């Protein structure tokens, strides 16, 4: 069984993140899919159907000389787009919150010594912490995420003067760690939402006792390494439908013309199916980063390290 409350170095965060899935991966992903699967698939279907409709209108916008076809299409369907947008916003923010909290509840149970975790156990955690879950949802959706988006967007904008690229390399992993630390701390202690947010920020730069070296670089380093691996692997899957799409655009039809709308027919179904699969795979791969952040959070809780070590020694003594 993996020990969670202990000090780790940079290399241990990465190796233990993969060791976690070697030990618990089968059970973890089974519960994750059972809990998130329906919401994730529903969101993918809605997005892909919307994109299919949008691109179908886009490619057909100038057929028969209708110069303003696309503008007319948007005006005539503005109500539908608004309703779909609201539905997707609620669905995606709910899914993001569940994705953040699932590893929190799962790792908390493991840290308590429970290795046979069932979906009902995680659902029970969501229900018994219902008020906190709602607070997290609204706090992340309307406070933390908007601020994080502004900070990230500002850094991205500065790419035009090169320094933005450097800023993103530091801002993105740090923001991600702060958000995940917030979730872990809020459900692993008695602090309120804003107290946990304060702890999440402070713990990136110093341990609670203030006597040890700043953990920032090892937290940042492990997150940036796993983040790069995530984008490489997920990028490969998302590139497959894009490559097929570009090949289709440059392929002539039997009458010597290029395809006017490549998203129709069986090829269109294949493209959107592949995009759906790549989206689901990316969602699953993100769990490596969530678990890595969880290990970092347990590393930051130095107040529990000695207690857990003593408890483990006592357990060994009893077993003997």
pTM: 0.86
Say what the pLDDT of residue 262 is.
Answer: 57
Band of residue 55 on the pLDDT scale cut at 50, 70, 90 = low
pLDDT at 220 over 90: yes
Top pLDDT among 305 and 228 is at 228
pLDDT tens string 164-174 = 788 889 999 99
Say what the pLDDT of residue 180 is.
Answer: 97
Say what the pLDDT of residue 53 is.
Answer: 61
Band of residue 319 on the pLDDT scale cut at 50, 70, 90 = very low
pLDDT at 62 over 80: no
DSSP β-bridge partners for residue 258: 252
Q: What is the 3-state secondary structure (H, E, C) of the chain?
A: CCCCCCCCCHHHHHHHHHHHHHHHHHHHHHHHHHHHHHHHHHHHHHHHHHHHHHHHHHHCCCHHHCCCHHHHHHHHCHHHHHHHHHHHHHHHHHHHHHHHHHHHHHHHHHHCCCCCCCHHHHHHHHHHCHHHHHHHHHHHHHHHHHHHHHHHHHHHHHHHHCHHHHHHHHHHHHHHHHHHHHHHHHCCCCCCHHHHHHHHHHCCCCCCCCCCCCCHHHHHHHHHHHHHHHHHHHHHHHHHHHHHHHHHHCCECCCCCECCCCCCHHHHHHHHHHHHHHHHHHHHHHHHHHHHHHHHHHHHCHHHHHHHHHHHHHHHHHHC
Q: What is the mean pLDDT of the chain?
A: 83
Say what the pLDDT of residue 271 is.
Answer: 75
Top pLDDT among 73 and 224 is at 224
pLDDT at 219 over 50: yes
Mean pLDDT, residues 249-278? 66
pLDDT at 145 over 80: yes
pLDDT at 61 over 60: no
Band of residue 260 on the pLDDT scale cut at 50, 70, 90 = low
pLDDT tens string 185-218 = 999 988 999 999 999 999 999 998 767 889 999 9
pLDDT at 252 over 70: no
Q: Express as a percent the part of the chain with pLDDT over 70.
A: 80
pLDDT at 44 over 80: no
Q: Express as a percent the part of the chain with pLDDT over 90.
A: 48
pLDDT tens string 117-143 = 999 999 999 999 999 999 999 999 999
Domain positions in the chain: 10-319
Mean pLDDT, residues 61-72? 56
Say what the pLDDT of residue 104 is.
Answer: 97
Mean pLDDT, residues 28-48? 83
Say what the pLDDT of residue 73 is.
Answer: 63
Say what the pLDDT of residue 19 is.
Answer: 96
Say what the pLDDT of residue 318 is.
Answer: 44
């Amino acid at each position: 069984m993996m020990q969670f409350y202990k000090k780790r170095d940079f290399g241990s965060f990465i190796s233990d993140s993969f060791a976690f899935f070697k030990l618990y991966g089968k059970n973890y992903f089974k519960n994750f899919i059972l809990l998130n699967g329906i919401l994730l698939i529903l969101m993918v279907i809605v997005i892909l159907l919307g994109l299919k409709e949008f691109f179908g209108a886009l490619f057909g916008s100038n057929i028969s000389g209708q110069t303003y076809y696309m503008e007319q299409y948007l005006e005539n369907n503005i109500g539908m787009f608004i309703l779909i947008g609201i539905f997707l916003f609620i669905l995606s923010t709910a899914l993001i919150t569940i994705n953040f909290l699932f590893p929190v509840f799962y790792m908390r149970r493991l840290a308590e010594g429970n290795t046979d975790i069932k979906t009902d156990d995680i659902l029970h955690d969501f229900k018994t912490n219902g008020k906190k879950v709602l607070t997290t949802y609204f706090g992340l959706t309307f406070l933390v995420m908007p601020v994080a988006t502004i900070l990230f967007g500002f850094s991205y904008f500065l790419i035009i003067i090169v320094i933005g690229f450097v800023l993103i390399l530091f801002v993105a992993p740090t923001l991600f760690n702060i958000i995940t630390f917030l979730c872990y701390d809020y459900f692993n202690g008695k602090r309120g939402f804003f107290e946990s947010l304060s702890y999440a920020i402070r713990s990136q730069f110093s341990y609670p006792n203030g006597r040890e070296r700043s953990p920032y670089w090892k937290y940042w380093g492990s997150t940036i390494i796993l983040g790069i691996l995530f984008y490489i692997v997920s990028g490969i899957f998302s590139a497959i439908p894009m490559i097929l799409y570009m090949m289709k655009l440059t392929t002539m039809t039997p009458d010597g013309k290029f395809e006017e709308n490549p998203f129709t027919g069986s090829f269109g179904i294949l493209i959107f199916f592949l995009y759906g699969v790549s989206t689901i795979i990316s969602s699953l791969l993100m769990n490596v980063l969530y678990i890595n952040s969880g290990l970092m959070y347990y590393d930051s809780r130095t107040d529990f390290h000695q207690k857990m070590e003593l408890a483990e020694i006592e357990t060994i003594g009893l077993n003997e």
